C-alpha cells in the first residue's frame, strides 16, 4: 500500500495541533507518540484511513476542554479526511465532554466499547495502548514507583486498566498486536508487584 498526500496532510495537521504538548512527566514531544501509533498500525496491516486516525486519535479528546472545541475539530477532521477517520477517532476517545466524567467511569465505558467496536477502531486503540504500555514499562525501569505519580489514577487502577484492555481486545478476536500488549502488561505487572520472575523480552 502506498500512502498518499492525505497522510502527509494528516501528519502536518497533527503536528500543528499537538505542537506544544509533551508526554506526561517527560520532555518528549507528544507527536512522537502519534508517529509511533501510526507506525504500529501500518506495521500490522492498517490502511491509510486507519493510519490517519492513528495520527489524530487524541485530537478530539484533547479539544474537549475548550467550549465547542471537540465538535468544531470533529467537523474539520470530517471535511479533511472523511467520515471513516472521524468514526475511528471518536471510538478511540474516552470522552469528548468537559469536565470529564470520573476516571473509572470513563475507562469502564471504553473497555466495554472495545468488545463491540469496529476492527479499525480496535487496531488503532491497541496500537495506542501498546505504545503507552511500553513507554510506562521503559520509564518504570529507571523511575520505579515514582512513575505512577504522573497519572491521574494510581498504580492499582493503571494496572487494572491495562489488564482489562487485554481481556476486552481478546474477547473481540485474536490479534498479534494484542499479544504484544499482553506481554508488555505482564512484565509491567511483575515489576510493579515486585514478583521475582524473569522478564520477557519486550
What pTM was computed for the model? 0.91
For 122-169, the pLDDT digits (tens) are 999 999 999 999 999 999 988 899 999 888 889 999 999 999 999 999
Q: Which CATH class is domain 5-192?
A: mainly alpha
Task: Return d(Cα 192, Cα 167) in angstroms, integer.
Answer: 19
Sign of CA dihedral 149, 109, 168, 90: negative
For 49-103, the pLDDT digits (tens) are 999 999 999 998 876 565 467 888 999 999 999 999 999 999 998 876 777 789 9
Task: Return d(Cα 125, Cα 111) in angstroms, integer.
Answer: 11
Task: Return d(Cα 52, Cα 38) in angstroms, integer.
Answer: 7
Q: How far is CA 87 from CA 44, 92, 117, 162, 199, in A?
A: 20, 9, 10, 23, 38
Amino acid at each position: 500500500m502506498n500512502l498518499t498526500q492525505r497522510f502527509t496532510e494528516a501528519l502536518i495537521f497533527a503536528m500543528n495541533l499537538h505542537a506544544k504538548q509533551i508526554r506526561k512527566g517527560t520532555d518528549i514531544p507528544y507527536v512522537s507518540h502519534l508517529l509511533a501509533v501510526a507506525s504500529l498500525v501500518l506495521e500490522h496491516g492498517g490502511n491509510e484511513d486507519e493510519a490517519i486516525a492513528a495520527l489524530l486519535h487524541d485530537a478530539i479528546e484533547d479539544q474537549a476542554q475548550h467550549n465547542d472545541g471537540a465538535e468544531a475539530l470533529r467537523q474539520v477532521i470530517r471535511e479533511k479526511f472523511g467520515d471513516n477517520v472521524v468514526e475511528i477517532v471518536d471510538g478511540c476517545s474516552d470522552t469528548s465532554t468537559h469536565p470529564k466524567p470520573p476516571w473509572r467511569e470513563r475507562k469502564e465505558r471504553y473497555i466495554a466499547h472495545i468488545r463491540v467496536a469496529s476492527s479499525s477502531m480496535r487496531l488503532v486503540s491497541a496500537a495506542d495502548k501498546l505504545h503507552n504500555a511500553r513507554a510506562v514499562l521503559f520509564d518504570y525501569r529507571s523511575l520505579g514507583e515514582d512513575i505512577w505519580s504522573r497519572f491521574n489514577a494510581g498504580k492499582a487502577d493503571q494496572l487494572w486498566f491495562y489488564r482489562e484492555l487485554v481481556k476486552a481486545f481478546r474477547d473481540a478476536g485474536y490479534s498479534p498486536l494484542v499479544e504484544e500488549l499482553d506481554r508488555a502488561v505482564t512484565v509491567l505487572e511483575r515489576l510493579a508487584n515486585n514478583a521475582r520472575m524473569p522478564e520477557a523480552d519486550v
